[in-house]
Each structure stands twice: as C-alpha cells, then as structure tokens.
Amino acid sequence: MSTPQKVAVVSGAAQGLGAAVADELASRGMRIVVVDINGEGGTESARKIAERHGVDAFAVELDVADADALDRLAERVLAEYGRVDVLINAAGIAEDAETLDVTNETLQRVIQVNLFGTIVACRAFAPALIETKGAIVNFSSIAALAGVRPEHHVAYDATKSGVIAATRTLAVEWAPHGVRVNAIAPGYSATPILDGVGANTPEIMDAWISQVPQRRLMQPSEIAKVVAFLASDDAVAITGQTVPADGGYLAAK
C-alpha cells in the first residue's frame, strides 16, 4: 500500500517565513494550503509552489482572527484533500510604537491576530490532526524570550510569549491523541515584517545585527528547515518546546 500524500496548512504563506515554510514542505512532497489575508499574494505563492514542486496547492484568503472562517477552512480542506497532517501558524503582525503612544485598537489587533488567531487555528484543525497524529508548529519570536531593542512593540512581545504558553499547554493536552505542538522563535529574519519596525533605517539595522553573534539576519529558507524538522517524524520525541533559530542572539543575552 502506498503512503498517502501529506497535507500541510500554512498561514501567513503569501510571503516571508510562511511562504518559505510552505515551499520547504512542498519540496518534501506535501500538498499545501496557503492561508493569508492577502488573497492575491496567497494565490501567487500557491501557484509558484505548485509549479516548482509539482504538488497540489491552493490558497484561501482569510483573516486568522476570524475563528468561524478557520472552522470553515478546516471543513474545506478535509473536503478537498481528505486529511490534514501539518498546521503551521506563521501569520503575524507587529506594531511599531512606544507603549505610551500605542492605540487600544493597535494593541487589540495584534493580540487578535498573533495570539487569538494562533489558538483558534490550533483548535479548528485539532480534530483533523488527531486523525493523522499530525503536528503543529506555531510562530513565536526572540522577542518573547528577551527584551528586544531598539524598536518597541509590547503587544507583539506579549503575544509571542502567549504563543509559547499556548504551545506548551496544547502539547500536553493533545499528546495523548498523538498530536505534537511546538513553536519556533526566529531571530531577526530578512522578510517584509522588518520594514515596519525600522529595517530601512541603517542605525536600526546595525543595532540588530550587532546583537547577533553570527552578525547577519536569518534567511527565510533557514527558518523553514527548522520548522519542517519540527513538523516531521524526525522530531517525534519533541513536543511542547519553543526552538530559537536566531544566529546566537539569545545565547548572547
């Protein structure tokens, strides 16, 4: 009997780290569901992945803060592909504001997308993942594990700490069902999210890189390989953990 082709659902996969993870998982033969609030970018990302790796891929435009939409998505993926093996929660946003100046709306939106969105996505896909004894990888950040500088984003940092706690809790809750839940904590990585927190200001870029022992930004493909490992059977003994991939940033703190 041939092994069934695995299915991965990847949020935030229109660009950046999510797109790199979707590409890496497709290179390992998985069918891919690209989930992103950017519908056009998601469609283009799914098209490229399908073309490059010869796997099925489709895109769904969706706000991960919409819990009902995630429930409908889980039904749709099961209807189209019949199974879900991997869930990657990479969709995320960061505010760029000093805490004395940040608006309530901004704080609430960051919490809704990064923390609520991650938890409700895990819940929506858990029944399908229990069927396949699948794996989840959530996106935390070095900003959950150290006070980052010189930029300011208190809601971002708090939500990424919340993702670590949710990852641990869900790992313990779902281990008896055979589902593993881990998180990655990337260091500063070369994606568009950094443009919103100062990447175009040379002094800020220099300040980031000077704090990284490897003296560079992480590349999306490097983060993707760690995520793919955590999602794979090679990581069967690992659950409830948050793995930094940061060029030594946290080790030097």
Instruction: Check if the beta carbon of residue 160 is closer than 8 Å to that of residue 93.
Output: no
Question: How far apart are the two ends of the chain, measured CA to CA in Å?
Answer: 51
66 or 131: CB nearest ligand NAD: 66
Does residue 191 interact with ligand NAD by CB under 6 A? Answer: yes
Does residue 120 interact with ligand NAD by CB under 6 A? Answer: no
93 Rama class: left (phi>0) / alpha (psi -120 to 50) / beta: beta
The correct pick among 11, 43, 211, 242 for binding ligand NAD (CB under 6 A) is 11
CA distances (Å), origin 187, targets 126, 161, 240: 28, 14, 19
Of 81, 156, 188, 249, which one is the catalytic site residue?
156
123 or 133: CB nearest ligand NAD: 123
Query: Which stretch of DSSP H or E encloses residue 59?
Result: strand 57-61
| Cβ neighbours for 29, distance < 8 A, ≥ 6 positions apart | 5, 6, 53, 55
Does residue 182 interact with ligand NAD by CB under 6 A? Answer: no
Is 249 considered catalytic here? no
The correct pick among 18, 162, 244, 247 for binding ligand NAD (CB under 6 A) is 18
Binding segment for ligand NAD (CB under 6 A), chosen from 2-10, 15-23, 49-57, 97-105, is: 15-23
Which residues, 60 to 119, sit near ligand NAD by CB under 6 A? 63-65, 90-93, 113
Which structure tokens are listed for 38? 């950017």
Which structure tokens are listed for 165? 């706690």
Site for ligand NAD, rule CB under 6 A: 11-12, 14-18, 36-38, 41, 63-65, 90-93, 113, 139, 141, 186, 188-189, 191-194
